[in-house]
Chains A and B, each alone.
Chain A
């Protein structure tokens, strides 16, 4: 009996010790494999996403989160060049070359596209034998049919149907029939052969090329959509993506992890043969033409809170991190460089200007602000953006003097907006010319009252609103703040129920000036579009219509310059800033592209697993002294207890 008990205790102790030996603070699940077939290490990258994507259906998903994953699984005809960001440039991806533009005599246009051969969909049970078949022109026909299918709810249909032939009628017909007929062609695409097709446009629209680089137009295998229908225990297609990109989705554990694994048959692109900055010659020359992707596995960990994600990054368990506002001051120094501590760890900081512009808006339909140009100019001249940037943007945002952000064709570096540098004397002069000397309304003898709508969901929003209010009130004008929820703010913008508001902005869907200037085109007043300021200027409209369909060139640039001049002079908005993003990479993660438009850039990323293992071990070494101290205290207590017990016995 005693022997049994002893062996039981010993086994339990051994089991506990073994379990403890297996414990560490690595939060990630084990990789799919330890080694590649050739015996080299299996390379896994650990990245964070702040939530589960709503869907991984390329024709449906329209959020940054979804695109961060989708762009690794699906590829499109074109992609953004990893190195060319000023201006942004497109290059072929699934297409063999850039699409050939054909202008038809009736004003319509056709783009002829040839596909690369030997591009295969991921291996998946939806295909016969589980082997992905080759991507052909028919898959693009199907993708465009899906865009028009009401059941897919493609969010860009409303835009594309204006330009792509057949999408609008196909959608209407499907709505009437209650089902989309995939056996009927939409008229958007004509297949010339298995690897060549033509895309038909209703009118000139050079921006279509940018759409061909977005996931919406990515090829989707019909077999997968039909197989993954949510029945018989199978996921719906939006949760089981099957594409032809560099990675396939191996696992999606909701709220926990998305695991992507290298597509062994990927061949659509290779590492560029050149085009990188001269400074990177040493890094990239040896990689020129190398097969992609470099990583074997990507684990997107779903981490909702910023602080745990930051702590994991510090421990080395995340390869990349943004710089949140809450840790900004401890990470970025006064000179906008990395703090000494992080630099000593070998972490690299990247600062990228994003293709977007933020501004405060005037409702030009408003009887007061809409008609009084001088008043708008006065308010714009009074606003101190540099101080706002210092207070709310850690002093790192790029002050906006024009609508177009850097990298977009037409952006003028060094352009000075005469109404965007704070000059209170000039502002007061303009205000007097507007009919309100010292901010007093001559009709009432009281200060002029303006109402500003803001989204105030937190302390910083409120402080920002108070700052904006103070900028206007320094002219003697009174500014009433209307606090809104985001939904109510949007409603007011759409219905035009505001006088002025702050905190609006636009991030480029594609880096073309048309994607920014359309915000001020009079035919885009809601509900038709996003001209929330209700700006209407015949000259601007005429130039917009001309510019929108032109190819880039000196003539287009001149028109863009004139349009920019009109917006600067008319002040429908007060430009604030172009957002700047800070990214931190661990020493083992080599960054290749700084192009924020290239969402599928993980295929170019390389990682040094040996260095990561070494650094993680260094950074997570537990100090031994607490254990020794505890041991000493326990020994003392034990000694005292033994002595006490002996005395008691005596």
Chain B
């Protein structure tokens, strides 16, 4: 794909996402929730951190030329070294033949001499791709099935229940590994594999909430006014379950980032050359057993993973509280 097209698609995707969020945030309920969220300092700090990490990820998706992303361009002056070097060291981490470094590295360099700080930032891109693509696949699917099951009930609900019960009965990680072994390596394939299991939680949640909503007077009123099922589902029920979808998406995002790391750790995740926190952690198995141990790639990747997952979880909690109708 030409660079201009991939960049254009990226911008279009971002614009669509922003438009969707804006549309959602213009509802009365969302505005109230946002007001509540503004008072939640932890939530706001987490939102800012998540936004920062996602922006870093986006900047690495944006190609300047075939070999450089915007992030690479920003770090173009960071030199590559001969091999491991400790954080802020002046020579390579090699007892046999230490060589002077071409520059200073905040978090040191890895086996191939790549700057660990840059690699950690580039891990955001993998997290973003996995979290983003998987969410794009599983959220519409899970939400649609949940609403359909909850709204139509009877045999439609039976089918939905049968589907998610069947998939849920297979151990998740085994299913993921099996699918990855079948599809082969690649971030796109991993996103497909992860979506296969990720939709179940959302579907159950939305189905339950739809049950609750359909029993409410506004749905009865819409029916009495002769509105079509499609209109009731899209214009009345969907906006009222949307907050659950958003909270689930945010909490799910952290789960997906973790799952990517686990799959990469198991060797069936990101392909060779992809900067991934999971791969960095996997490599640490070897690095920690060296004498003296190489700890900085593990520390950097684990910290980044911990930071993103914790922030997403706290943000998810804050959003749940903000959207809670019982809250003041």
| Cβ-defined partner of B273 (8 Å) among A326, A334, A460, A469 | A469
Cβ contacts under 8 Å, B285 to chain A: 459
Q: Least Cβ distance of B27 to chain A in Å?
A: 47
Cβ of B111 and Cβ of A327 under 8 Å apart?
no
Given known A-B contacts A395-B96, A483-B185, A458 and B289 have beta carbons under 8 A apart: no
Report the nearest B residue to A333, measured CB to CB. Answer: B95
Interface string of A328-343 (1 = CB under 8 A from B): 0110011100000000
Report the nearest B residue to A454, measured CB to CB. Answer: B272
Chosen A-B contacts, 19 in total, with CB atoms closer than 8 Å, are: A326-B289, A329-B95, A330-B291, A334-B95, A334-B97, A335-B96, A390-B82, A390-B96, A391-B112, A395-B97, A459-B283, A459-B285, A462-B272, A463-B283, A466-B112, A466-B273, A481-B271, A481-B273, A483-B185
Cβ of B289 and Cβ of A463 under 8 Å apart?
no
Cβ of B271 and Cβ of A460 under 8 Å apart?
no
CA gap between A624 and B112 in the complex, in Å: 46
Report the nearest A residue to B94, measured CB to CB. Answer: A390
Report the nearest B residue to A465, measured CB to CB. Answer: B272
Top-8 shortest CB links A-B: A330-B291, A334-B96, A326-B289, A329-B291, A459-B283, A481-B272, A465-B272, A459-B282
A237 at the interface (CB under 8 A from B): no
A526 at the interface (CB under 8 A from B): no
For chain B, residues 269 to 315, give those with C-beta under 8 angstroms from any C-beta of chain A: 271-273, 279, 282-283, 285-286, 289-292
For chain A, residues 452 to 483, give those with C-beta under 8 angstroms from any C-beta of chain B: 454, 456-460, 462-463, 465-467, 469-470, 481, 483
Given known A-B contacts A391-B112, A463-B111, A463-B283, A327 and B272 have beta carbons under 8 A apart: no
Given known A-B contacts A390-B83, A466-B112, A481-B273, A447 and B286 have beta carbons under 8 A apart: no
A304 at the interface (CB under 8 A from B): no
Interface string of B63-74 (1 = CB under 8 A from A): 000100000000
Report the nearest A residue to B284, measured CB to CB. Answer: A459
CA gap between A334 and B92 in the complex, in Å: 14
Q: A391-B111, A466-B273 are in contact. List 7 more A-B contacts (CB 8 A).
A: A329-B290, A329-B291, A330-B291, A390-B97, A454-B272, A456-B272, A459-B285
Cβ of A483 and Cβ of B94 under 8 Å apart?
no
Report the nearest B residue to A446, measured CB to CB. Answer: B66
Cβ of A469 and Cβ of B267 under 8 Å apart?
no
Cβ of B267 and Cβ of A457 under 8 Å apart?
yes
> Most chain-B CB neighbours within 10 Å: which of A326, A459, A462, A467?
A459
CA gap between A329 and B83 in the complex, in Å: 15
Cβ of A469 and Cβ of B272 under 8 Å apart?
yes
A371 at the interface (CB under 8 A from B): no
| Cβ-defined partner of B272 (8 Å) among A330, A335, A447, A483 | A483
Cβ contacts under 8 Å, A561 to chain B: none
Cβ of B267 and Cβ of A458 under 8 Å apart?
yes
A35 at the interface (CB under 8 A from B): no
Cβ contacts under 8 Å, A458 to chain B: 267, 282
Q: Least Cβ distance of A96 to chain B in Å?
A: 51
A254 at the interface (CB under 8 A from B): no
* Residues of A in contact, count (CB < 8 Å): 28
Cβ contacts under 8 Å, B271 to chain A: 481, 483
Cβ contacts under 8 Å, B112 to chain A: 391, 463, 466-467, 470
Cβ of A459 and Cβ of B82 under 8 Å apart?
no
User: How many residue pairs at the A-B interface have CB separations less than 8 Å?
Assistant: 64
A416 at the interface (CB under 8 A from B): no
A387 at the interface (CB under 8 A from B): yes
CA gap between A329 and B95 in the complex, in Å: 9
Interface string of B83-99 (1 = CB under 8 A from A): 10000000000111100
Q: Least Cβ distance of A62 to chain B in Å?
A: 29
Report the nearest A residue to B98, measured CB to CB. Answer: A334
Cβ contacts under 8 Å, B282 to chain A: 458-459
Cβ of B290 and Cβ of A387 under 8 Å apart?
no
Cβ contacts under 8 Å, B66 to chain A: 447
Cβ contacts under 8 Å, A391 to chain B: 83, 111-112
Q: Least Cβ distance of B301 to chain A in Å?
A: 12
| Cβ-defined partner of A459 (8 Å) among B95, B185, B286 | B286
> Most chain-B CB neighbours within 10 Å: which of A329, A330, A334, A395?
A329
Cβ contacts under 8 Å, A463 to chain B: 111-112, 283
Cβ contacts under 8 Å, B185 to chain A: 483
CA gap between A460 and B285 in the complex, in Å: 10
Interface string of A427-467 (1 = CB under 8 A from B): 00000000000000000000100000010111110110111
| Cβ-defined partner of B291 (8 Å) among A327, A454, A465 | A327
Cβ contacts under 8 Å, A335 to chain B: 96
Given known A-B contacts A334-B96, A391-B112, A459 and B273 have beta carbons under 8 A apart: no
Q: Least Cβ distance of B287 to chain A in Å?
A: 9
CA gap between A334 and B83 in the complex, in Å: 16
Interface string of A384-427 (1 = CB under 8 A from B): 00010011000100000000000000000000000000000000
CA gap between A395 and B96 in the complex, in Å: 9
Cβ of B279 and Cβ of A459 under 8 Å apart?
yes
Q: Least Cβ distance of B324 to chain A in Å?
A: 44
Q: Least Cβ distance of B255 to chain A in Å?
A: 24
CA gap between A160 and B262 in the complex, in Å: 49
Report the nearest B residue to A332, measured CB to CB. Answer: B96
Q: Least Cβ distance of B297 to chain A in Å?
A: 11
Interface string of B180-191 (1 = CB under 8 A from A): 000001000000
Cβ contacts under 8 Å, B272 to chain A: 454, 456, 462, 465-466, 469, 481, 483
Cβ contacts under 8 Å, B290 to chain A: 326, 329
Report the nearest A residue to B66, measured CB to CB. Answer: A447
Q: Least Cβ distance of B142 to chain A in Å?
A: 31
Q: Least Cβ distance of A440 to chain B in Å?
A: 11
Cβ contacts under 8 Å, A333 to chain B: 95
For chain B, residues 137 to 187, give those with C-beta under 8 angstroms from any C-beta of chain A: 185
Q: Least Cβ distance of A333 to chain B in Å?
A: 8
CA gap between A481 and B97 in the complex, in Å: 31
Interface string of B182-216 (1 = CB under 8 A from A): 00010000000000000000000000000000000
Cβ contacts under 8 Å, B83 to chain A: 390-391
Q: Least Cβ distance of B122 to chain A in Å?
A: 13
CA gap between A391 and B292 in the complex, in Å: 15
CA gap between A469 and B273 in the complex, in Å: 9
For chain B, residues 99 to 153, give those with C-beta under 8 angstroms from any C-beta of chain A: 111-112
Cβ of A460 and Cβ of B95 under 8 Å apart?
no
CA gap between A329 and B96 in the complex, in Å: 10
CA gap between A56 and B314 in the complex, in Å: 61
CA gap between A229 and B150 in the complex, in Å: 67
CA gap between A483 and B272 in the complex, in Å: 8
CA gap between A454 and B96 in the complex, in Å: 29
Q: Least Cβ distance of A487 to chain B in Å?
A: 12
Cβ of B96 and Cβ of A462 under 8 Å apart?
no
Report the nearest B residue to A470, measured CB to CB. Answer: B112
Cβ contacts under 8 Å, B97 to chain A: 334, 390, 395
Report the nearest A residue to B84, measured CB to CB. Answer: A391
